[in-house]
Amino acid sequence: MNRIQNLLLNIFKDEKLNDYDGIGRGELIYTYKMQLFIIGCKSLEYKEKGIGLNYNRYKEEMTLLKYYINGSNKSLRNFYKGNKSNEEDDSVIYRILPIIIPNKDIKIIEEEILKNIIQITTNPKSILYGLTSAYIFFEYLARSSIDKDIVKDYIIKFSIKDYSDRINFLDKNFIVNFERERIKLLQKIDSNLMELNGGIYNINENIEKNLDKDKYYKLIENFSNFLLNLKKGTIDIENLEKSNLDRKFKIYEGNVFEHYLLGKSKIVKNDKLEFYIKTKYGLFKFKKI
């Protein structure tokens, strides 16, 4: 098992759901954190330097996600109301993983993840945790180890002002709050790096032995292989702009269709307030809004 797969299994081991209130038991269902990771993977593109998100596709994926998202947080709810949030966002790590894994240059990762994080939150603590996670996962994938002192050194040397031309909310108040959170973060790293963010950095190298090789495991395995091949530059990426697949579909049970974002899909149940679509990524409950 490669390090990418091991990392993803550790991070997403608790994001699987059993069903939708009794509907869909045995199907592939998971939380909004995994959903955000997947639409990030689906939105990746090769750039002149490194790999980043195609924000035309990402915007369409995020718009569709509003109707089938499994859970949420305050930042995401504000985002879907059209408001820029300053709340902490517990989805940051899951949103930026698709950017961290296939890139080979930490500076490219830095720039791309900042662009992504501030799509939803301007919270200094969330931005710092995103940067910390990026560096930790980058180091793990490169060396299969995490050195607390190297992580601290990275956080100390990082300059948010280097991105002042791309971060329009970078005012005096933000800088003060950012530096205050940086000091708190460094103290927590000194105390116990592995306990940060609910212990997400405490990567178990033998986790595979404790997991069922079910549909969810297979999904993670497929995305780890995709990201590995992307890192190697040996895979083509779907061009959404050139897709001639349907953008609309009819809601009746049994309808099978090809959707430009969901791929081959089937309406398996149609209730009064929601309907259920089975895709290659799992079973989604769509709200009728």
pLDDT value of position 168: 76
pTM of the predicted model, to two decimals? 0.94
Q: What is the 3-state secondary structure (H, E, C) of the chain?
A: CCHHHHHHHHHHCCCEECCECCECCCCCEECHHHHHHHHHHHCEEECCCCEEECHHHHHHHHHHHCCCCCCCCHHHHHHHCCCCECCCCCCHHHHHHHHHCCCCCHHHHHHHHHHHHCCCECCHHHHHHHHHHHHHHHHHHHHCCCCHHHHHHHHHHCCHHHHCCCCCCCCHHHHHHHHHHHHHHHHHHHHHHHHHHHHCCCCCCCHHHHCCCCHHHHHHHHHHHHHHHHHHCCCCCCCHHHCCCECCCCCCCCCEEEECCCEEEEEEEECCCEEEEEECCEEEEEECC
pLDDT value of position 32: 98
Choice between 248 and 22, residue whose per-residue pLDDT is larger: 22
pLDDT value of position 172: 84
Average pLDDT over residues 55-60: 94
Dump pLDDT digits (tens) for 70-87: 999 999 999 999 988 899
Average pLDDT over residues 164-169: 75
Choice between 249 and 241, residue whose per-residue pLDDT is larger: 249
Domains of the chain (ranges; CATH) run 3-242 (1.10.4080), 244-289 (no CATH)
Choice between 169 and 61, residue whose per-residue pLDDT is larger: 61
Average pLDDT over residues 193-203: 91
